[in-house]
Structure 1
Amino acid sequence: MPEGGGRGTLAGTVGRGAGGRLVMAEGADVSREADLLARVPDGLLVGGRWRAASDGATFPVHDPSDGSVVKQVASATVEDGRAALDAAVDAFSAWSRTPARERAEVLRRSFDLVVEHADDLALLMTVEMGKPLAESRAEVTYGAEFLRWFAEEAAHVQGRYGANPQGTGRMVVTQHPVGPCYLITPWNFPLAMATRKIAPALAAGCTVVVKPASLTPLTTLLVAQLLLDAGVPAGVVNVVTTTRTGPVSEAVIGDPRLRKLSFTGSTPVGRQLLAQAAGGVLRTSMELGGNAPFVVFDDADLGTAVDGAIAAKFRNIGQACTAANRFLVHRSLADEFARRVTERVAAFRTGRGTQEGVTIGPLIDDRAVAKVEELVDDAVSRGARLLTGGSRVERPGSFYAATVLADVPPDAALLREEIFGPVLAIVPFDDEDEAVRLANDTEYGLVSYVFTESLARGQRMVERLETGMTGLNVGVVSDAAAPFGGWKLSGLGREGGAEGIHEYLQTKYTLTADPFA
């Protein structure tokens, strides 16, 4: 793409082929972004059909790099949310009885279509969320993998059979889809968080209503169209976009026909949703906040640790629950570690994510910028040393400069709260016990990172750190084949891996009479 905005041309216009699949027609010379945005559905997906909100309401989706409105999409009402659940309920019986191999083939075709449309999906994510194109492409690869992984898991759901201990009968244990599901996805990974929930639900035989974040709904809408193109039956996947999230979600969650709630987002909102889910005793999966420690010991390979720090902190512009929040560095290495990361960070290029060479895109909106600014100013006022960055970027859009802080004091707010921005905060420590104490001194427990060349120390840290995931000498842990989830206030349940499909299954035990009696 050309530098300076990423505006290119496509030798064609877009129409709908049989079944609504996205196709290209020859002839027109149009802006690639405008062409892509025109192809993205702007309605609600209910029962296999795209439709307007029942009251005709819409809301704008903004490009955070300049605040411009890129598209208007439907804003669902409570009535629309109930209609989407009606469709999921109606489709459940047939889909749950569909042979696992057939469900697997649908998911595999969905994977192929997402890969085929990878460039479009990456560009769309960059436009509505802001991350650089290289990171958007990486998310497409990561998010598509959930479709392929759970296509393979669909046919591998197992039960067991055997004599009971008394020898008086036979025990049969089987797994069954839990039922219609409500999936609430966040704005920061609009493709991967959708596929990470949709894929295991469909693999298990469940139907879903998906509510994407109103800040970044477009990627999920395009993915939903690709799922239809892949052969997902009407009503199996329904999508409701809305700015009336509270009333819509409350109505869906309060419906006794719903059997599962999955949410990725903040811990305060997760608590509210858990309270609502309690009335129906819903199965719940909650992937909530994080406050990840990044621990560098004195025997660490410093080059590896710095590379890991850049990945763990600045991926997605720091807007990830897995982002390292507190960099705990052995005092003997703290100054050199700070020097090296500062050198790297100071060389970052900030700009619109479509521009070539951009490392740091905009934050999602101005409120996010204000929150990061508040946390950095608080830390500096308490004695932290600012090594680079530390301010808004004076240009249109929601930009904050990539920042490094050293000697962050223990009373700084950013050591307790998720930063959710491009700020690397360094705290020195003196020994292993202190590192463990500092790392575990948080109500969160999603992920931790440890850098050491000692195998024994690495094993001890994995055992001692109170997190659901640990990266040992690596700065990124996410993998479709691995169980993603946290301890403490970071959530409940697991997404991905062999464990992921079981969040959408329920167990039935049957005792049969002894056939030889």
Structure 2
Amino acid sequence: MALQLSYRLLGRQLSAGQATRVGRRRLSLLRERALVAGQWTVAADGATFDVINPATDDVIASVPDLGEADAARAVAAAAEAQRSWGQTAPRRRSQLLQAYFRLLEEHGEQLAALLTAEQGKPLAEARAEVAYGAGYIEWFAGEARRIHGEVVDGAAPHKETLMIRQPAGVAALITPWNFPIAMLLRKLGAALACGCAAVAKPAEDTPLSALALAALAEQAGLPPGVLSVLTASRARTPEVGAALCRDPRVAVLSFTGSTAVGKLLYAQCASTVKKLSLELGGNSPFIVFDSADLEKAVAGCMASKFRNSGQTCISTNRILVQAGVYDRFVAALGSVMASQLTAGDGAADGVNLGPLVNNAQLEKVSGLVSESVRQGARQVWPRPGSAAPEGRFYPPTLLTEVTPDMACFREEVFGPVAACARFETEEEALAIANSSDMGLAGYIFTENIAQAWRVSRALECGMVGVNEGLISQPEAAFGGVKLSGLGREGGHYSVEDYTEVKYICFGTK
């Protein structure tokens, strides 16, 4: 009953005066033109598409619906700008990134309000995303001056062996709707630090954040043509993506999104043999052992599972709980869900669970839950037959008695659904966790240090959180294995994606 009371839609009863004030705050960084080849422009045919607030269905803005010709123009400008940007001293690139970081901090509140309006996440989460994304710009401002080669003593006499790193060239950056600010800044910071001009293609649901970031980059002094932002509708996105993949002037393609789209882009890049960085889908296991601190485990699960309404690539998806603590963990998780989750318009005070981003996402989550219940999962909350919330809001859902063959374990849910399965032994937990063809992140809760180390090494994923539900940091290597992608973003590892190693051999005889 407590959960029913806490799941209330807030923020739809704003007065006209409040709505106007909110709107003005959001408009401060809003751009309704795309940045192509150093110019803020419309589509050649005048086509536009609307950006919708997923919480209210209000139209926030209309932006240009660009196509293949616009992509070619942006790449041509980037290729021209690459000549000078690639030769710009690392110290100068660092200074520009530092200036950019300061502007991101200065405009953090405006960016967060815009992000909440177009993506739906609560304002507190939007502020955290802006700070997190800006952290990558700060990190790569320093990293620009730490891109080193090496000198190796070879076996052959009278030869000096040197390896240097050079910018790979123009980078195409295709970003998702779930973290539109953080994902673009993570890619853009690395590309600019390494001396690569960039052409960005934001998701059709969330183009306004990317345009705002481009405006601030321009204000920071980034030279014309070094960054273009291509906005395109769902109908035109495939042609823009294909154009970037097949253009030989693009040297690097970095994509964050679904595995299905990642495979398509991978194939389209084959003809030009580009460097690829692919951060794709996840199906993260969250393993709670008998030795776990249950309070810590529940808190970690809440942080990982319900952030951004579960629309996170490293979100907990498969909750595996050892039999000895299963009942206590499930009861504690349900109680905390009941007391802590409040859904509604992310701009309203007190909301910490926003809507799903679009109707397709809503239908997918609803379908996976229905199929899992049909297969035998027990829906603890909301009770079957309960009235569904209006709009794109999906109720925080707790499923128990889940088995590994059920839909909610086989597929990434990408919604606020906590699906709990029971296991007996460490070996069984690992077998279930590693049975997925995804391998992005995994989580372990145990107070047994030997077990923590043993299981961390045995999990088939690129990242592991041990007694921690929030693991992303600018200094760390973010990425997965198996169908979860290629390459790593963050830390010094991003340098690999945006530079080429050149071997120089000096004869000294």
TM tier relative to shorter chain: over 0.9
Q: Where do 1:41-190 residues align within 5 Å? A: 41-190=31-180
SS in 2 for 1:279: helix
Indicate the percent of aligned positions where both proteins have the same amino acid: 43
CA drift of 1:302 comes to 0.4
8 Å CA contact 1:322, 1:447 repeated in 2: yes
One of 396, 408, 411 as aligned partner of 1:414: 408
Q: Where do 1:198-277 residues align within 5 Å? A: 198-243=188-233, 244-277=236-269
1:33 and 1:378 map into 2 onto residues whose CA distance is 40
Q: How many residues align?
A: 496
8 Å CA contact 2:11, 2:344 repeated in 1: no
Query: Could you say which structure has the greater relative contact order, defined with CA pairs below 8 angstroms and 6 or more residues apart?
Result: 2
- Residue 6 of structure 2 corresponds to none
CA drift of 1:54 comes to 1.1
The residue type paired with residue 373 of structure 2 is: V
SS in 2 for 1:186: coil
- Residue 13 of structure 1 corresponds to none
1:426 and 1:479 map into 2 onto residues whose CA distance is 27
CA drift of 1:190 comes to 0.7
CA drift of 1:379 comes to 1.2
- Residue 312 of structure 1 corresponds to 304
Q: Per-residue displacement from partner, 1:93-143 (whole Å, max 9, x unpaired)?
A: 100000001001111111111111111111111111111111111101100
The residue type paired with residue 507 of structure 1 is: V
The residue type paired with residue 95 of structure 1 is: W
1:465 aligns with 2:459: yes
Q: Where do 1:347-358 residues align within 5 Å? A: 347=339, 348-358=341-351
CA drift of 1:486 comes to 0.1
SS in 1 for 2:354: coil
Residues 390 and 353 of structure 1, relative CA distance in 2, 3 Å threshold: farther
1:6 and 1:75 map into 2 onto residues whose CA distance is 32
Q: Per-residue displacement from partner, 1:159-218 (whole Å, max 9, x unpaired)?
A: 112432122210111000000011100000010000010000000000010000000111
Q: Per-residue displacement from partner, 1:368-393 (whole Å, max 9, x unpaired)?
A: 11111111111111221111126897
8 Å CA contact 2:12, 2:56 repeated in 1: no
The residue type paired with residue 26 of structure 2 is: L
2:398 and 2:167 map into 1 onto residues whose CA distance is 47
TM (norm. structure 2) is: 0.95
1:294 aligns with 2:303: no
8 Å CA contact 1:390, 1:401 repeated in 2: no
Residues 439 and 47 of structure 1, relative CA distance in 2, 3 Å threshold: same
Residues 482 and 9 of structure 1, relative CA distance in 2, 3 Å threshold: farther
8 Å CA contact 2:487, 2:497 repeated in 1: yes
2:230 and 2:13 map into 1 onto residues whose CA distance is 31
CA drift of 1:38 comes to 6.1
8 Å CA contact 1:65, 1:396 repeated in 2: no
1:6 and 1:233 map into 2 onto residues whose CA distance is 42
8 Å CA contact 2:175, 2:255 repeated in 1: yes
CA drift of 1:35 comes to 5.0
- Residue 284 of structure 1 corresponds to 276
8 Å CA contact 1:346, 1:402 repeated in 2: no
Task: Structure 1 unaligned segments of length 5 or more: list them.
Answer: 11-28
What stretches of structure 1 move > 2 A for 4+ residues in a row?
Answer: 2-10, 29-32, 34-39, 389-397
CA drift of 1:39 comes to 4.0
The residue type paired with residue 447 of structure 1 is: A
2:121 and 2:14 map into 1 onto residues whose CA distance is 13
CA drift of 1:8 comes to 9.5
Residues 6 and 48 of structure 1, relative CA distance in 2, 3 Å threshold: farther
Residues 307 and 433 of structure 1, relative CA distance in 2, 3 Å threshold: same
2:225 and 2:200 map into 1 onto residues whose CA distance is 11
SS in 2 for 1:495: coil
1:8 and 1:439 map into 2 onto residues whose CA distance is 50
1:374 and 1:252 map into 2 onto residues whose CA distance is 34
Residues 73 and 345 of structure 1, relative CA distance in 2, 3 Å threshold: same
1:443 and 1:300 map into 2 onto residues whose CA distance is 27
8 Å CA contact 2:479, 2:486 repeated in 1: yes
CA drift of 1:349 comes to 1.1
CA drift of 1:231 comes to 0.6
SS in 2 for 1:191: helix
2:28 and 2:189 map into 1 onto residues whose CA distance is 26
1:186 and 1:390 map into 2 onto residues whose CA distance is 33
SS in 2 for 1:509: strand
Deviates more, 1:395-404 or 1:77-86: 395-404
2:298 and 2:92 map into 1 onto residues whose CA distance is 46
TM (norm. structure 1) is: 0.93
1:491 and 1:390 map into 2 onto residues whose CA distance is 37
- Residue 316 of structure 2 corresponds to 324
The residue type paired with residue 374 of structure 1 is: G
Q: Per-residue displacement from partner, 1:387-438 (whole Å, max 9, x unpaired)?
A: 1126897454301000111111232111010100000000000010001101
Q: Per-residue displacement from partner, 1:139-167 (whole Å, max 9, x unpaired)?
A: 01100000000000000000112432122
Task: Structure 2 unaligned segments of length 5 or more: list them.
Answer: 1-9
Q: Per-residue displacement from partner, 1:466-495 (whole Å, max 9, x unpaired)?
A: 000000000011001001000000000000
1:119 and 1:7 map into 2 onto residues whose CA distance is 22
- Residue 3 of structure 2 corresponds to none
- Residue 448 of structure 1 corresponds to 442
CA drift of 1:247 comes to 1.1
The residue type paired with residue 261 of structure 1 is: L
The residue type paired with residue 368 of structure 2 is: L
Residues 177 and 453 of structure 1, relative CA distance in 2, 3 Å threshold: same
8 Å CA contact 2:112, 2:123 repeated in 1: yes
8 Å CA contact 1:346, 1:388 repeated in 2: no
CA drift of 1:251 comes to 1.7
